[in-house]
Chains A and B, each alone.
Chain A
Amino acid sequence: MGPLVPQEIIGADWNLFIAFVIGIGFGFALEQAGFSSSRKLAGMFYGYDTVVLKVFFTGAITAMLGLLFFSLFGWIDLSLIYVNPTFLWSAIAGGAIMGAGFIIGGFCPGTSFCAAAIGKIDAMVFIGGIFLGIFFFAEGYPLLKDFYMAGSFGPLKVSDFLGISGGVMTFLVIIAALVMFKLGELAEKKWPREEY
């Protein structure tokens, strides 16, 4: 039966409304996890707090498992799911820039809006930075275009690239996540910070 929106079981108007509700839920979850504190996010880099890693990886593997089991039960047609196309070099550069911004600013785009919503000034400055970045990227697009489009792989999935099934890939990601959670907790013990 699923996915609901591409098959128009849920119409375009409801789509926006549901996106709104999910957005609120996402913000609520971020705030509950304490992600509106820039120290929490920077802690990921310094090793004293790895909650960010745990929350996002748990979210990712829950979604992976959910999609694959839904597909197994015939509830969703995975071939209709939109997969972001891969542009290798811009993805690497974008990841590096976002990572640097993460450490320097203490927010990722989603959490900055959460923090701005509870009145954090630094988050508002961060959002200003996001808009500046968007502006300069858009204005400089003709210069960046070749690099932006380089290394196009289309909507490629890692599992297809490696030639393994989605299930095995999910299993590997779960193993990787559990190992990282363990390492994260060791790091928290090694570089603790009392008050932040």
Chain B
Amino acid sequence: MTTRNIIFLGLFLLGVVIAMVPENTTKPYKLTAEDMLIEIQGAAEMVSADDVAHWIISKDPSLQLIDVRSPDEFQTYHLENAVNIPLSVILKDEHRDMLDQGIKMNVLYSNGTLNSHQAWMILRQLGFENNYVMQGGLNYWFDTIMNPQVPSVFSSDEEFAKYDFRKAASGALGGGGAVAITAPAKTKADKPRVIRKKKKKAPAGGC
């Protein structure tokens, strides 16, 4: 057999192999377990309920609230302008554009923080950027933002400022019946940095 025929036979056999094996077993996961652990310990994915309230009231256009609870729960109550993407369907292609984007800042929430964190971990593993979790979830949201507790007289000024803001926010967001007397306190509201994706350049080629 000539060298040429051996090469042809080799190509043919490789073709047979590649036709038999399942396609693309490449894991799309981008983060290793170690990377995840570092991120979780850093807790950089958390945003406070006060910040979220501030962004909702100031109608921050970069905020995108994502409700990972079931559609029923979403129907009963959800935060203003939130989008319902239940945890069970989070991997569907149709949600990918929203969950993996460089323009907006996604804030995930559920009743507590368990489901929102589960969703966040999946998204983070896929390498998606700009996803955050609302600290405490909706339960905490109701306890603090919608029904703020009057701090004790010994509390610091900061506590009172926070209370004033929550009271005002509660009024603005239609909860608790608290009436905003003082103007909302200026919260720091340090927003997590939105990482903009670089546009992929289209390579051109040809003979």
Contact = CB atoms under 8 A, between A and B. Distances in A.
Interface centre among B11, B12, B19 (most CB of A within 10 A): B19
B29 to A, nearest CB: 10
Given A65-B18, A178-B12, A76 B26 contact: yes
A171 B16 contact: yes
- Measured as residues with beta carbon below 8 angstroms from the partner, the interface class of chain A is 20 to 34
A170 B15 contact: yes
A165 B11 contact: no
B181 interface: no
Interface of chain A, main secondary structure: helix
Interface stretch (A77-85, A117-125, A133-141, A144-152): A77-85
Interface stretch (B53-61, B97-105, B199-207): B199-207
A68 interface: yes
A82 B203 contact: yes
B166 to A, nearest CB: 43
A28 to B, nearest CB: 15
Contacts of B23: 68, 71, 165-167
Contacts, number: 72
Contact of B18 (A62, A167, A178): A167
A6 interface: yes
Interface in A150-189: 165-168, 170-171, 174-175, 178, 181
Contact of B25 (A65, A72, A166, A178): A72
Given A56-B207, A75-B26, A166-B23, 7 more contacts: A69-B18, A77-B28, A79-B28, A82-B200, A82-B203, A170-B15, A175-B12
23 contacts: A8-B198, A56-B207, A58-B11, A61-B15, A65-B11, A65-B14, A68-B18, A71-B24, A71-B26, A72-B21, A74-B25, A75-B26, A78-B26, A82-B200, A109-B206, A109-B207, A168-B19, A171-B16, A174-B15, A175-B15, A178-B11, A178-B12, A181-B8
Interface of A: 6, 8, 56, 58, 61-62, 65, 68-69, 71-72, 74-79, 82, 108-111, 165-168, 170-171, 174-175, 178, 181
